[in-house]
Amino acid sequence: MRILLVEDDKMLGSALQQNLRLDGFTVDWVQDAEDAEVALATGEYGMLLLDLGLPAKSGLQLLKELRSGNDPLPVIILTARDARHDRIGGLDAGADDYVVKPFDPDELAARIRAISRRQAGRFSSTIEHGMLTLSPATHEVYFGGEQVTLTAKEFSLLAALLERPGAILSKDTLELRLYGWGEEVESNALEVHVHNLRKKLGKTMIRTVRGVGYTIGDAS
Amino acid sequence: MRSIRGTLFTILFTGLIAIATVTGCSIYLKVIQELNEVFDHQLMEVAYAAAAHAPDVVPLPSAEASYEREARLAVQIWKGETLLYSSRPNRIIPRQGQGLTTLYLDDQHPHLGWRVFALNAHDKVIQVSQPLEARRNVGISIALRSEEPLMLATLLLSGLILLSVGQGLRPLKKLAEDISSRTYTSLTPLSDRNLPSEVVPLVRCINNLLEHLDQSFEYQSRFIADAAHELRTPLAVIRLQARVLSKSGDEALRAEANRQLNAGIERASRLITQLLTLARLEPEPQPAQLETLSLDGKTRQLVADYARIAAEKGIELTLSRVEPVEIGGDAESLRDLISNLVDNAIRYTPSGGAVKVAVLHRGLRAILQVSDTGPGIPASERDKVFERFYRLPSSAEGGSGLGLAIVKSALLRLGGVITLEDNPWGTGLKVSVVFTVSPTGALPAEPPA
């Protein structure tokens, strides 16, 4: 999943980006609300992590504008403001969760997974598709009862395709989900990941829809 | 403990009783004196009446009137040496010469005297006598009756004193209750409505104090809230980077995380140090003690302390001009002032830049100048940067936002004026602090109130 992080503090922003990458998320990081708006207009984000105390336009203002434009993007507020009225105000402005600094990074990752699970309409913490079982929390993948080892990118690719089984995702969309800004993308990187996944999970697991993109296949 | 009520009661009651006693005694003496005249007159009247009438119809006072009965008069009539008549035969009083006489016959009871009036009428001597005791008894009973209004007045006055002292002190009691209902969280001013004008100044003073306390508490709690808020960010950084260190297998990533972790710890430590400095400086804007400080010496020493840090950052830190001058204040505040100015300049100046420090003595002014080739501060922001935790929106460095707040607090204690302007010899900022030097040079100027 690709996450947009809005945090004006440089040290914290970079630390958070590193941590979320460790958890297998693709993270873009901007330092103010204006850059966040630009990123949101162009990117394929599954989650917005929003600091409230931003220079110029506040995080809360950005959130309100997002919600008044009927944007369903899940939002978690990350802030040092822990007063009760701040938390209530943040949630009522449209945030899905409210995390107070200094937060537990594992808990933050779990909250991101929980919110995206609910967003996708799933109730189980694992994603199942035929003989395939995928656990976003532990990054473990089982195929026919056997554990399969996947790289972080392979896992993200598989998770993206499994989000809405049957949907066809274009190459561009998948690349956007997999790679954050500044990450080098080889021209055939996606094909390499697809190739590796097919080797590990069987040829029919990922189907190529010629000229359109990829979709998850029957996992029989 | 002295009590207003006790003092008032003591003075008023002692005074009242003394006045009542003196008045009572003087009334008694006056009554006795007047009564004596009346009784003497009565003695004479009875004697004349007896002389004018036959001895058997002596007009003795009527026994019916209690007053007359109490007078206990007796009439004796002599003709030559023979006692012709005695209205009270058992009262034997020797014949006296013409006129009024006071007699004491009984040696055992010297106070049982007699008042006698003898009248020589033709061949007879008429003598009317009265025991002094009767006079005294009548006098006492009349005096007592005269004293009744006085005693009543005394009683009424006592009641009035009790009531008025209680009433007068009631506002104080109410005020005490009002004050005792306050806690340090509810320092709302006391109401001076319906209070006597003597108490209003007291209430105003207390309200003044309450207001200062309230501001001070408000300041402290805001300070603590701000401090907690500001500490969260470096702590979050430390926590996140520690996790990268423990979880990541990538050596380059781990090395960077290690560097960032230390930077986070450094930032938290600096923040705590600065918060403590500010907490030490701010509660009392007046210095603990004034000493004569060498501005040039202190500046020289602190610039030397920063030489290594500047060199590590690739910044040329120089003392461009140092003139000897002394100012007044406390050494700690001066150190906080200079070191925060120099630290700020080094912190915000990029590598390869320069920081210049100068101390000048111009007449009655001592001037400390710190200029740098950093990004400077836009003119519109120059007032705000002295506020606690205010950071320039464009600020790249993870500063605490406390450096200039400390400078401002230190300056309040030292008594000086600070100005920020564009650096005349480069791109950055020039900070000038002007102190007033006392003409004698021995003792410093008073810091402004």
Q: Give CA–CA dist B433/B362, Å, rounded.
A: 13
User: Is residue B8 over pLDDT 80?
Assistant: yes
Are A80 and B229 within 8 A, CB to CB?
Answer: yes
Confidence band for A219, pLDDT divided at 50, 70 and 90: low
Are B236 and A100 within 8 A, CB to CB?
Answer: no
Pairing type for strands B354-362 and B316-322 reads parallel
| Arithmetic mean of pLDDT, B59-76 | 67
**Tell me, what's the pLDDT at B68?**
61
Half-sphere exposure of A156 (CA within 13 A, CB side): 25
pLDDT digits (tens, 9 = 90+) for B280-335: 877 665 655 678 889 999 999 999 999 999 999 999 999 999 999 999 888 888 99
A18 reaches B (C-beta below 8 A): yes
Confidence band for B444, pLDDT divided at 50, 70 and 90: very low
User: Is residue B63 over pLDDT 60?
Assistant: no
**Tell me, what's the pLDDT at B26?**
92
pLDDT digits (tens, 9 = 90+) for A5-30: 999 888 899 999 999 988 888 899 99
Are A11 and B239 within 8 A, CB to CB?
Answer: no
Q: Give CA–CA dist B108/A154, Å, rounded.
A: 142
Q: Which range has the worst mean pLDDT, B61-75, B80-94, B116-130? A: B61-75
pLDDT digits (tens, 9 = 90+) for A130-163: 888 888 888 888 888 888 888 888 888 888 888 8
Distance of CA B61 to the CA centre of its chain: 73
Residues of A (58-87) whose Cβ lies below 8 Å from B: 80-81
Confidence band for B441, pLDDT divided at 50, 70 and 90: very low
pLDDT digits (tens, 9 = 90+) for B331-362: 888 999 999 999 999 988 999 999 999 999 99
Sign of CA dihedral B418, B421, B424, B428: positive
ipTM over 0.90: no
Determine the distance in angstroms separating the CA of B212 from the nearest CA of chain A, rounded to an integer: 26
Residue with the larger pLDDT of the pair A202 and A218? A202
Pairing type for strands A75-79 and A47-51 reads parallel
| Arithmetic mean of pLDDT, A96-118 | 91
Nearest to A11 among B253, B264, B393 (CB): B264
Q: What is the value of pTM for the model shown?
A: 0.62
Determine the distance in angstroms separating the CA of A134 from the nearest CA of chain B, rounded to an integer: 21
CA angle B404, B409, B413 (to 5 degrees): 140
First to last CA, chain A: 26
Which residues of chain B make contact with A14, given a CB cutoff of 8 A?
260
User: Comparing C-alpha atoms, which of A196, A152, A157 is closest to residue A175?
Assistant: A157
Q: Give CA–CA dist B120/B98, Å, rounded.
A: 6
pLDDT digits (tens, 9 = 90+) for B225-258: 888 878 888 899 999 999 999 988 888 989 999 9
User: Could you tell me if A159 and A134 are in contact, meaning their C-beta atoms sit under 8 angstroms apart?
Assistant: yes
Q: Which residue of B has its CA nearest to A99?
A: B236
pLDDT digits (tens, 9 = 90+) for B209-230: 888 888 888 888 888 888 887 8
**Tell me, what's the pLDDT at A88?**
92
Nearest to B240 among A55, A81, A105 (CB): A105
**Tell me, what's the pLDDT at B57?**
55
Pairing type for strands B99-104 and B316-322 reads unpaired
User: Is residue B135 over pLDDT 90?
Assistant: no
A147 reaches B (C-beta below 8 A): no
Are B238 and A102 within 8 A, CB to CB?
Answer: yes
Cis status of the peptide bond prior to B285, with omega within 30 of 0: no
User: Comparing C-alpha atoms, which of B331, B347, B392, B338 is closest to residue B367?
Assistant: B338
Q: Give CA–CA dist B414/B221, Å, rounded.
A: 26
Residue appearing with tokens 């004008």: B197
Mean pLDDT of chain B: 85
- Using alpha carbons, list the distances in angstroms from residue A129 to A71, A197, A201, A219, B171: 29, 15, 12, 7, 83
Q: Which residue of B has its CA nearest to A109?
A: B240
B329 reaches A (C-beta below 8 A): no
| Arithmetic mean of pLDDT, B164-184 | 85
Half-sphere exposure of A56 (CA within 13 A, CB side): 11
Confidence band for B449, pLDDT divided at 50, 70 and 90: very low
Confidence band for B61, pLDDT divided at 50, 70 and 90: low
Nearest to A10 among B238, B248, B398 (CB): B398
User: Could you tell me if B355 and B310 are in contact, meaning their C-beta atoms sit under 8 angstroms apart?
Assistant: yes
What percentage of chain B carries pLDDT values higher than 70? 90
* SS3 labels along chain B: CCCHHHHHHHHHHHHHHHHHHHHHHHHHHHHHHHHHHHHHHHHHHHHHHHHHCCHHHCCCCCCCCHHHHHHCCEEEEEECCEEEEECCCCCCCCCCCCEEEEEECCCCCCCCEEEEEEEEECCEEEEEEEEHHHHHHHHHHHHHHHHHHHHHHHHHHHHHHHHHHHHHHHHHHHHHHHHHCCCCCCCCCCCCCCCCCCCHHHHHHHHHHHHHHHHHHHHHHHHHHHHHHHHHHHHHHHHHHHHHHHHCCCHHHHHHHHHHHHHHHHHHHHHHHHHHHHHHHCCCCCCCCCEEEEHHHHHHHHHHHHHHHHHHHCCEEEEEEECCCEEEECHHHHHHHHHHHHHHHHHHCCCCCEEEEEEEEECCEEEEEEEECCCCCCHHHCCHHHCCCCCCCCCCCCCCCCHHHHHHHHHHHHCEEEEEEECCCCCCEEEEEEEECCCCCCCCCCCCC
User: Is residue B139 over pLDDT 70?
Assistant: yes
DSSP string, chain A: -EEEEE---HHHHHHHHHHHHHTT-EEEEESSHHHHHHHHHH---SEEEEES--SSS-HHHHHHHHHHTT----EEEEES---HHHHHHHHHTT-SEEEESS--HHHHHHHHHHHHHHHTT--SSSEEETTEEEETTTTEEEETTEEE---HHHHHHHHHHHHSTT--EEHHHHHHHH--TT----TTHHHHHHHHHHHHH-GGGEEEETTTEEEE----
pLDDT digits (tens, 9 = 90+) for A43-59: 789 899 999 888 788 89
B240 reaches A (C-beta below 8 A): yes
**Tell me, what's the pLDDT at A120?**
80
B222 reaches A (C-beta below 8 A): no
Determine the distance in angstroms separating the CA of A138 from the nearest CA of chain B, rounded to an integer: 13
B244 reaches A (C-beta below 8 A): yes
Count of beta carbons in the 10 Å neighbourhood of residue B98 = 11
**Tell me, what's the pLDDT at A162?**
86
User: Comparing C-alpha atoms, which of B8, B12, B254, B135 is closest to residue A22?
Assistant: B254
